[in-house]
Amino acid sequence: MSDTKKPFSAGSLELTSDPVFPAGSASPRLRSRVREAIWPNFRADTARFRSNPSFLILGAGQAGTSTLWRYLGKHRQILPSTKRNVGYFGDSHYQGANWYRSHFPMKATLAARSQRLKAPCVTGECSNHYLWTAASAPRIQRALPDVKLLVMLRDPVARAAAHHRHNTGLGIERRSFERCIGVDLELLDRLGGETIDGGQFGYVRNGLYGSQLRSWLEHVDRSRMHIVESESFFEDPAAEYHRILNFLGLDPAFQQRMPSYRPLSGPVEISPALRQQLDEVFAADFAGLGTRLGINVRWDTGAQKAA
């Protein structure tokens, strides 16, 4: 008979609290370090006792999602996922549902805080590539049919430039902005209007909000989606944030101090010809969607010309 030890499984263990630490017995950072030392697989082993997210931030990338995530992390009714960009409904789907659930707090922890605050507490995550990943919408609808979705949309030309600056700063992009845009436009032309996932270098493709959102609306009811214009959010963050909390059903009174943030970068300096070309591409892609969504964004040049 082999004496090889089997990996621990939570089995039918009914967890009503943290089995390692009683509530309030130590600081969160200390609890995390000690727990990992004595029970390395604690989060995975207790996945079945963890809560599903109540909300997801889908993107768009380089539109202020990191700032919104920091804001929400300061709200006492929210216990966020252990990390930003979990990515399960995108390229990490192969990890499995238990792996995904391991990133969220215990149901008992949420219940205890809800009781303490006398207000419902929730959890959520932010993976800003969900918006442009075609497989994300049907996966999310199957796994989380009631989850609320937050989408931040930024002027797609400015978003493309910020995306290029981000990749350049990481050292993974050495081509000029104009060259990158040209390559992406050539790819779209070869596809004949059929879009594909933008990926890390989809400077134009990641800004095709029209194609992305039409796909999402095939799977998700509009009432579950809250769309924020990034420019408005950074001009008046308090007002826009209050609307987001209202959508999530959270009390503004439980917001702790607002974290500092960097405003959106200034105007994009590109040639008038390239700006016009991009405006036409994005306007054609977004045409009519603003009316369908009930939003009016300042960079929707198609809507401006119609008016």
What local confidence, expressed as pLDDT, does residue 298 receive? 86
In a domain, 16, yes or no: no
Task: Going from the first residue of the chain to its last (307 residues), give the mean pLDDT of each consecutive group of 10, the final group possibly shorter.
Answer: 39 44 53 63 88 95 92 94 92 94 94 96 95 95 97 95 92 93 91 76 94 94 96 91 96 83 71 92 92 88 60
Long-range own/partner contacts, residues 182-188 (CB < 8 A, 24 or more apart) = 185/277, 185/281, 188/281
Tell me, yes or no, whether 45 and 84 share the same domain.
Answer: no
Q: Which residues pair with 161 in a beta bridge?
A: none
In a domain, 28, yes or no: yes
What CATH number corresponds to the domain at position 173?
Answer: 3.40.50.300
What local confidence, expressed as pLDDT, does residue 255 receive? 87
Tell me, yes or no, whether 25 and 160 share the same domain.
Answer: no
Judge whether 228 and 240 are in contact, CB under 8 Å.
yes
Tell me, yes or no, whether 133 and 219 share the same domain.
Answer: yes
What local confidence, expressed as pLDDT, does residue 3 receive? 41
- Alpha carbons within 13 angstroms on the beta-carbon side of residue 113 total 15
Q: In the structure encoding, which two tokens stand for residue 282, read together? A: 């994005």
Residue with tokens 């036409």: 280
How many separate domains does the chain show? 2
- 3-state DSSP helix/strand/coil % of the chain, to nearest 5: 50, 10, 45
- Alpha carbons within 13 angstroms on the beta-carbon side of residue 3 total 0
In a domain, 3, yes or no: no
DSSP per residue, 196-234: ---GGG-TTGGG-HHHHHHHHHTTS-GGGEEEEEHHHHH
In a domain, 67, yes or no: yes
Tell me, yes or no, whether 136 and 69 share the same domain.
Answer: yes
In a domain, 271, yes or no: yes
Q: What's the rounded Cα separation, in Å, for the pair 54 and 272?
A: 43
Tell me, yes or no, whether 263 and 151 share the same domain.
Answer: yes
Cα-based distances in Å from 255 to 70, 106, 144, 294, 306: 12, 22, 26, 28, 41
Judge whether 217 and 137 are in contact, CB under 8 Å.
no
In a domain, 41, yes or no: yes
Tell me, yes or no, whether 82 and 148 share the same domain.
Answer: yes
In a domain, 270, yes or no: yes
Tell me, yes or no, whether 41 and 58 share the same domain.
Answer: no
Tell me, yes or no, whether 116 and 227 share the same domain.
Answer: yes
The residues, any chain, with a CB within 8 Å of residue 241's CB and separated by 6 or more, are 68, 71, 233, 258
What range does the domain containing 70 cover?
Answer: 51-306
Tell me, yes or no, whether 44 and 120 share the same domain.
Answer: no
Tell me, yes or no, whether 42 and 73 share the same domain.
Answer: no
What local confidence, expressed as pLDDT, does residue 29 receive? 59
DSSP 2: -
